Amino acid sequence: MNWEDFRQWGRRAADWAADYHAGLRKEPVRAQVAPGAVLSALPDAPPEGAEAMQAIFDDFEQTIMPGMTHWQHPRFFAYFPANAAPVSVLAEYFVSAIAAQCMLWQTSPAATELETRVCDWMRQAIGLPDGFTGVVQDSASSATLCAVLTMRERALDWQGNKAGLSGQPRLRFYCSAEVHTSVDRAIWIAGLGEENLVRIPTHGPTRAMDAEALRAAIAADRAAGHLPAGIIACTGGTSAGASDDIAAVMDVAGAEGLYTHVDAAWAGSAMICPEFRSLWAGVERADSVVMNPHKWLGAQFDCTTHFLRNPDDLVRTLAIQPEYLKTHGADGIVNYSEWSVPLGRRFRALKLWFLIRAHGLEGLREMIRNHVIWAQDLAARLEATEGFEVVTQPMLSLFTFRHLATADLDAHNQDLLNRINDDGRIYLTQTRIDGALVIRFQAGAFTATAEDVAMAYDVITELAAAGT
């Protein structure tokens, strides 16, 4: 393909994309193919010669698309959303066309400086105070890894990278069982060992980390000769939206001199609405905060904003400056590759800039407020319906429920969930609350309407009745 061919196919691709999104409500949300169906339809060996673009496109439509789960479907109520507002898709198109590697200021000055500005826009939007500085990471998992590595280096007086962990004190890290599995993975990758991630009990309706239990665990570790290094708190945990009492956690962290990271990957987007900020009261005292605009704000994956009270700690942990990466003759510039684990960086800030300008904060607030209201209404309807139990009340737009039966409740609800997803009209996932299997619902699709959420009630109750 040359650039003239690209011109033709680019127009076709734009038409295809618009038609695809316009027709999503007619499609089953989850892919309806059997395991191995797509693989078996693909040739075993790569082609030796060039193939016509039309043939490639035909195979894309006929072989690939039937095996795709439609994450942009307005009735995608599973996991968390991974939205792609049209303006974000357009910005990503420009990013792909420019194809810049934005690792240093000099490799694309506009990418660096736009990232600085857009991160500050987001800081203001979610109510973080002056003094926090932001960077765009690929995912909250990477931001959490950055935070854990920084905790490690600070606790070891910046000797971990240099001398390794052998012979060093045993480092300890603290979180609840409600944090995302990326915390476990960060501990693994940092070479710290999962036995040193101390799980603190939770309590209350928000399933918050018990601050007194946290304080006691730190004291016990110090008495045992271990070295506490940091605390990972969460706002809007993946399973049921668990949210720690951030202020109480910060009180402990301040008294103990520990670095604290707040994972608000999903719920952080809701903080553009001032009325929801009580959920993370005290966050202004955190050292590190992460949220994903690619979840609930409409920025196409991947796009994570990571805010730091003192970015020098992160840069000291990650920065490597060989001669070939230096920018001579330009003092005071920021090279964001020194703020991230990968050296290479895409121009992620562009889609966030497009998105904020095209919708405005008020437009995005309206979307989030609607999702919260619709989810609360659905939970109330299910709770008022005989045979249903809301297990965890809505945390923003996320709640869990189960259908009651005399049989094995876990097996019964797994069967109901399977039938719901095989039906195709909506897509839900499961989790466990206090050991019991429950069905999880979250409203967050960028194009969802009140009618889409209302359909969830119809599908759930219809299939529950059919299975009893």
Name the token pair of 250.
């910060």
CATH class of the domain whose range is 3-70? mainly alpha
- Contact by Cβ (8 Å): 425, 24: no
pLDDT at position 214 is 96
Name the token pair of 8.
């033709």
Mean pLDDT of 101-130: 90
Give the C-alpha separation, 200 to 176, whole Å: 5
Domain 101-346 falls in which CATH fold? Aspartate Aminotransferase; domain 2 (3.40.640)
Give the C-alpha separation, 390 to 386, whole Å: 11
Give the C-alpha separation, 371 to 443, whole Å: 5
To the nearest 10 degrees (0 to 180), the angle between helices 246-256 and 211-223 is 20
pLDDT at position 177 is 86
In the predicted structure, residue 294 carries a pLDDT above the cut 80: yes
Give the C-alpha separation, 119 to 105, whole Å: 16
How far is residue 433 from each of residues 177, 401, 437, measured CA to CA in Å? 11, 10, 7
In the predicted structure, residue 126 carries a pLDDT above the cut 80: yes
In the predicted structure, residue 328 carries a pLDDT above the cut 70: no
In the predicted structure, residue 379 carries a pLDDT above the cut 90: yes
In the predicted structure, residue 216 carries a pLDDT above the cut 90: yes
pLDDT at position 468 is 64
* Non-local CB neighbours of 176 within 8 Å, separated by 6+ positions: 199, 200, 201, 202, 207, 208, 209, 234, 237, 242, 244
Model confidence over 337-361: pLDDT tens digits?
888 888 788 889 999 999 999 999 9
For the chain, give every domain's residue range: 3-70, 101-346, 361-466
pLDDT at position 323 is 44
In the predicted structure, residue 332 carries a pLDDT above the cut 70: no
Mean pLDDT of 11-30: 93
Instruction: Give the pairing type, strands 171-176 and 197-200.
Output: parallel
Domain 361-466 falls in which CATH fold? Aspartate Aminotransferase, domain 1 (3.90.1150)
pLDDT at position 407 is 79
Average pLDDT, the chain: 91
- Contact by Cβ (8 Å): 426, 420: yes
Mean pLDDT of 7-29: 93
DSSP code at position 196:
G
Model confidence over 43-54: pLDDT tens digits?
999 999 999 999
- Local confidence band at 333 (pLDDT 50, 70, 90 cut-offs): confident
How many other CB atoms sit within 10 Å of the CB of residue 6? 13
Could you give the residue ranges of the DSSP H alpha helices within 179-256? 181-189, 211-223, 246-256
Q: Residue 301: how many CA atoms within 13 Å on its side-chain side? A: 11
pLDDT at position 341 is 85
pLDDT at position 324 is 42
- pTM exceeds cut of 0.85: yes
In the predicted structure, residue 325 carries a pLDDT above the cut 90: no
Q: Which of 112, 88, 90, 116 is nearest to 100 (CA)?
A: 112
> Edge to edge, what strands does the sheet with 436-442 contain?
388-395, 398-403, 436-442, 429-433
- Local confidence band at 369 (pLDDT 50, 70, 90 cut-offs): very high
Give the C-alpha separation, 229 to 423, whole Å: 48
In the predicted structure, residue 59 carries a pLDDT above the cut 90: yes
- Residue 218 gets the label, from left (phi > 0), alpha (psi -120 to 50) or beta, of alpha
Model confidence over 178-201: pLDDT tens digits?
888 888 888 988 888 889 999 999
Mean pLDDT of 246-270: 95
- Contact by Cβ (8 Å): 115, 336: yes
Model confidence over 402-447: pLDDT tens digits?
999 877 999 999 999 999 999 999 999 999 999 899 999 999 999 9
DSSP code at position 427:
B
